[in-house]
Amino acid sequence: MQDLWIVQHSYLIPLLPLIAACIAGFFGARILKGQSHWPIWLGVGAIAVLSVALLFQTVGLLGHGAPPVRNSDSGTHAPVASATEHSDAKTVSAVYRAFTWIAAGDPKNAGTNEYFEVAAGFFFDPLTVTMLCVVCGIGFFITVFAAGYMKGESGYWRFFAYLGLFIFSMTCLVMGDNLIMLYLGWEGVGLCSYLLIGYYYEKPAAREAAKKAFLVNRIGDFGFGIGIMLAFAAFGTVSYFGADGYTPGAANGLLELAALPKMGMTEFQIQVLNWLPFLLMLGAFGKSAQFPLYVWLPDAMEGPTPVSALIHAATMVTAGVYMIARCGTLFVGNEAAMITVAFVGAFTALFAGSIALRQFDLKKVFAYSTVSQLGFMFVGVGVLAPVTGVFHLVTHAFFKALLFLSSGVVMHAMLGHLDMRKMSGLKAVMPKTRWLMLIGCLALAGVVPFAGFWSKDEIVASAWHASPLLGIVMLVTAFVTAYYTFRLYFRVFEGPKVVPDEPHPDHHGHGDDHGHDHHSHDAHHHHNHEPALMMIPLIVLAIGAVIAGLALWQGHRLGHFLGQSPSFVGAFELARDTYNAKADGAHMVNPVVFGQQEYRSESVVKAEHTSHYIFMAVSTLIALSGIGLAYSLHLKDRPKADRLALLLTGVARAMENKYWVDELYQAVIVEPLRRVGEIFFTLDKYFVDGLVWLAGFVPQLGGFVLKLTLQRGYVQGYALSMALGIAIILLVVFL
């Protein structure tokens, strides 16, 4: 893999969107204006092509054994591509190091915590390539969509500059070959998320939401930061697999060192390994919106809809899942951590799913649905089945982006309205969007053969395998998901046609400069709001939402691919060593969900297949019954749904108010902090400021005295002062 042209020139992948963002940012306001999307289209499009090419090339490398070892960097300087080839029969990986970014301490102490080195380096393996394709591929289609959606907005260029910056950060995040690069991208996407949520900054709700997202993420990132520091303190490196990349048998990088037998470790290292997963997890829970840090994501829907699709559904929020999959060896050895991940994920999935039941805003429903689906992914990685987590990540990216963008089209057409109580029967108004939305909903609900079904099913099966309780929670959540998805669909697209006639007060983009404005905004004459620029990306995503699941599931294609990642191999070996020794047979680590098919025994395969088909049948049934319930309550007999809500007033209100979690946080965390802040403010104002004033006053006084006595502008005075100074010095020295 090291030989690939794209790997050797992988600096292009973050660089192109960054350059594009700079062009859009610096020249957008004055020169490019309405054409500001071009640099981003070109930049992101180019790297999307590169990522897909890399995907095919990597797939081509699988199972081809080791290409000849090559040594190219004898004495050459940056950019230094690491020399050795690491794709043995089992893994495919490569390292590209552009330059040493940070170096502190004496290089003699390399490998201990006396020497800190971070390379601006990229690590390539099937996991990276998968993530790159999701980020760049889906990212590209969303930028295309955004050009249509954001047309005529003020600050059009700003939007695209942020988008380019986001893609840059996200590629750094998934490609980095060490935790610091991961953190760089992590914070970069956090910043872009903040900027884009607050895109409509003149709207108070958007400002608040942006702040909330930023602050809640700080809590998680605080843990993440401490985790990185501890990891360095204990193991002396932050690189995943060392400077030369992954070498089977060698242990240079953090992920390899952490997987070594505990016997050889110091007490401190063992302690760190006990805590490290929890700290990293905090970061993952913050970024990926898991309980208790999920509260920012629903509010983040204040951002423009393409942003919700790209950042808050398809890519950024999955960074936590990526991190746990990537750092598998830091997690799987710690049983408590894995249980925590799985149960937090399961709880979040059900909790957020139940909130989605009683939301009326389209984007809010999908936001809670995203939180819930992210919970699924965490269950996947938590129950020692990282392949299923990443699988769901990929399929979810397709169908959730599709759903968000479709609701964006609805919002666009409905003059900013997203309240499903105010609209109905839109299939007559927007027939194409209706079909696209239906595909997305089927995928989300998990109906055969749409993408969501395959990945969700694998997670549910793995969860059941790990603990029946988890399996049941997942099945219930699947039911809830199917129900709320089709509640939305039936409400909005089916039934009698109802269209809101007044523009929403927060409605953006349909100002005087808007392209559609020469049409009349007659309530009963909504013209075609499905322009090709917005429809084409949707159709591509819809194709993905239909076929991605089966295509990747068939013959464990994705598992086989990801299984070649050193992270997955390492995690599998560690998990096998940790759990199989004490397993009672029932809880053996399943090699398949680590992508290590060659390790499974025939008997296991058989049992697995039978149970798998049963699960498929069960989950299909559950999805269909959820849809059926939604049909009966929200299409056939809508008043019945309201009567039901009346019957269960308490529950309905709790769900509608999101279980008052925001209010709870406000009372328990925000208010006490504000009180403390007020105390500090008072102290600062009177005590510290007083000291500062005094400190400022004394030099002023000194200067005043000097000025009056010595600096009066007469040349003879100056000469006298100088002579006086000389005399004083002579006196002091010689007396």
Partner 1 sequence: MEYLKSIVPLLLPELLLVVAAGFLFLLGISTKVGARRAAPWISLLVLGGCCWLILGEPMKLSGFDAKGTFEVTSFSLYIKLLACGVGILLTLLAWPTNDDATGNPSLNFGGDAGEFFALMLLSLAGVLMVSGANDMILLFLGIELASIPTYIMVSVSRPTAVAQEAGLKYFFLGALAAALMLFGFSYLYGTTGTTSLHDIGQLLAGTQAGPAGATVPTAWQVLALIMLLLGFAFKLAAAPLHFYAGDVYQGAATPVTAFLSFVPKVTGIVAIIKIMWVYGGNGFAVPEIFAKLLFAIAVITMFAGNLLGLMQLNVKRVMAYSSVAHSGYLLVGLTALAYAGGNGSVQNAALQGVLFYIAAYGIMNVGVFAVLQMIPAREGRSTTTAETYEDLAGQGRKHIGLGLAMAVGCFSLIGLPLTVGFFGKLYLIVPAWNLASVEPELKGKMAWLIGLTMLNAAISAGYYLKIVGTMFLRPEPPLFGDSVSSLPVPARSLAPTVAVVLATVLTLGLGTLIPATQLLTTRVTDSLEIGRQPPLVAPDTASVAESR
Euclidean distance between CA atoms 729 and 710, whole angstroms: 17
Q: Does 648 bind partner 1 (CB under 8 A)?
A: no
Exposed (0-12), middle (13-18) or buried (19+): which is 229, by Cβ within 10 Å? middle
Stretch that binds partner 1, among 52-60, 128-136, 218-226, 695-703 (CB under 8 A): 695-703
The smaller minimum CB distance to partner 1, of residues 676 and 710, is found at 710
Stretch that binds partner 1, among 482-490, 563-571, 674-682, 705-713 (CB under 8 A): 705-713
The smaller minimum CB distance to partner 1, of residues 270 and 698, is found at 698
Q: Least distance from C-beta 710 to partner 1, angstroms?
A: 7
The smaller minimum CB distance to partner 1, of residues 103 and 668, is found at 103
Cβ atoms within 10 Å of 73's Cβ, excluding its own: 16
Q: Does 706 bind partner 1 (CB under 8 A)?
A: yes
Name residue 498's beta-bridge partners. 424
Output the DSSP codes for 28-39.
Answer: IIIIIGGGTHHH
Euclidean distance between CA atoms 114 and 231, whole angstroms: 13
- x-or-dash string of contact with partner 1, 710-729, rule CB under 8 A: xx-x-x-xxx-xx-xxx-xx
The smaller minimum CB distance to partner 1, of residues 670 and 705, is found at 705
For the chain, the residue count is 735
Stretch that binds partner 1, among 38-46, 364-372, 635-643, 698-706 (CB under 8 A): 698-706
Interacting residues of 201 by C-beta distance below 8 A, sequence separation 6+: 207, 210
SS3 assignment, position 1: coil
Q: Least distance from C-beta 117 to partner 1, angstroms?
A: 14
Stretch that binds partner 1, among 155-163, 190-198, 601-609, 708-716 (CB under 8 A): 708-716
**Structure-derived torsion over alpha carbons of residues 239, 249, 278, 226, reported in degrees to the nearest 10:** -30
Exposed (0-12), middle (13-18) or buried (19+): which is 505, by Cβ within 10 Å? exposed
Q: Least distance from C-beta 175 to partner 1, angstroms?
A: 23
Q: Least distance from C-beta 193 to partner 1, angstroms?
A: 25
Q: Does 702 bind partner 1 (CB under 8 A)?
A: yes
Half-sphere exposure at residue 210, Cβ-oriented, CA atoms within 13 angstroms: 21
Q: Least distance from C-beta 720 to partner 1, angstroms?
A: 9
CA angle 78, 83, 85 (to 5 degrees): 145
Which is nearest to 542 in space by CA: 136, 141, 130? 141
- Residue written as token pair 């666009």: 412
Q: Least distance from C-beta 690 to partner 1, angstroms?
A: 17
Cβ atoms within 10 Å of 451's Cβ, excluding its own: 32
Q: Helix 386-413 to helix 139-149 angle, to the nearest 10 degrees?
A: 10
Euclidean distance between CA atoms 529 and 514, whole angstroms: 13
- x-or-dash string of contact with partner 1, 356-385, rule CB under 8 A: ------------------------------
Q: Do residues 163 and 310 touch, judged by C-beta distance below 8 A?
A: yes
The smaller minimum CB distance to partner 1, of residues 647 and 708, is found at 708
Which residue in 520, 639, 699, 735 binds partner 1 (CB under 8 A)?
Answer: 699
The smaller minimum CB distance to partner 1, of residues 583 and 710, is found at 710
The smaller minimum CB distance to partner 1, of residues 428 and 705, is found at 705
Stretch that binds partner 1, among 106-114, 484-492, 560-568, 693-701 (CB under 8 A): 693-701
The smaller minimum CB distance to partner 1, of residues 264 and 713, is found at 713
Which residue in 631, 700, 709, 735 binds partner 1 (CB under 8 A)?
Answer: 700
Q: Does 733 bind partner 1 (CB under 8 A)?
A: yes
DSSP-assigned letter for residue 80: E
Which is nearest to 651 in space by CA: 357, 426, 285, 401? 357
**Structure-derived torsion over alpha carbons of residues 233, 234, 240, 243, reported in degrees to the nearest 10:** 70
Q: Least distance from C-beta 18 to partner 1, angstroms?
A: 17
DSSP-assigned letter for residue 419: B
Stretch that binds partner 1, among 22-30, 105-113, 160-168, 692-700 (CB under 8 A): 692-700
Q: Least distance from C-beta 184 to partner 1, angstroms?
A: 16
The smaller minimum CB distance to partner 1, of residues 607 and 719, is found at 719
Q: Least distance from C-beta 321 to partner 1, angstroms?
A: 35
The smaller minimum CB distance to partner 1, of residues 56 and 714, is found at 714
Q: Does 421 bind partner 1 (CB under 8 A)?
A: no
Cβ atoms within 10 Å of 716's Cβ, excluding its own: 7
Which residue in 52, 703, 709, 735 binds partner 1 (CB under 8 A)?
Answer: 703
The smaller minimum CB distance to partner 1, of residues 496 and 713, is found at 713
Which is nearest to 196 in space by CA: 344, 316, 336, 360? 316
The smaller minimum CB distance to partner 1, of residues 522 and 734, is found at 734
Q: Does 116 bind partner 1 (CB under 8 A)?
A: no
Half-sphere exposure at residue 727, Cβ-oriented, CA atoms within 13 angstroms: 6
Cα 532 versus chain centre, distance: 29
Q: Does 730 bind partner 1 (CB under 8 A)?
A: yes
The smaller minimum CB distance to partner 1, of residues 677 and 725, is found at 725
Q: Least distance from C-beta 696 to partner 1, angstroms?
A: 7
Euclidean distance between CA atoms 591 and 601, whole angstroms: 9
The smaller minimum CB distance to partner 1, of residues 667 and 719, is found at 719
Q: Least distance from C-beta 103 to partner 1, angstroms?
A: 10
Q: Least distance from C-beta 728 to partner 1, angstroms?
A: 7
- Residue written as token pair 């997203």: 418
Euclidean distance between CA atoms 305 and 684, whole angstroms: 42
Please give the backbone phi and psi of residue 163, each rounded to the nearest 5 degrees, phi first: -60, -45
Q: Which of residues 282-311 bind partner 1 (CB under 8 A)?
A: none
Q: Do residues 498 and 424 touch, judged by C-beta distance below 8 A?
A: yes
Q: Do residues 309 and 149 touch, judged by C-beta distance below 8 A?
A: no
End-to-end CA distance of the chain: 79
Which is nearest to 479 in space by CA: 349, 650, 390? 349
Q: Least distance from C-beta 733 to partner 1, angstroms?
A: 6
The smaller minimum CB distance to partner 1, of residues 205 and 728, is found at 728
Q: Least distance from C-beta 725 to partner 1, angstroms?
A: 2
The smaller minimum CB distance to partner 1, of residues 586 and 715, is found at 715
Q: Does 734 bind partner 1 (CB under 8 A)?
A: yes
- Applying CB under 8 A, what is the total number of residues that bind partner 1? 25
Q: Does 215 bind partner 1 (CB under 8 A)?
A: no
Q: Do residues 347 and 375 touch, judged by C-beta distance below 8 A?
A: yes
List residues binding partner 1 (CB under 8 A): 696, 699-700, 702-704, 706-707, 710-711, 713, 715, 717-719, 721-722, 724-726, 728-730, 733-734
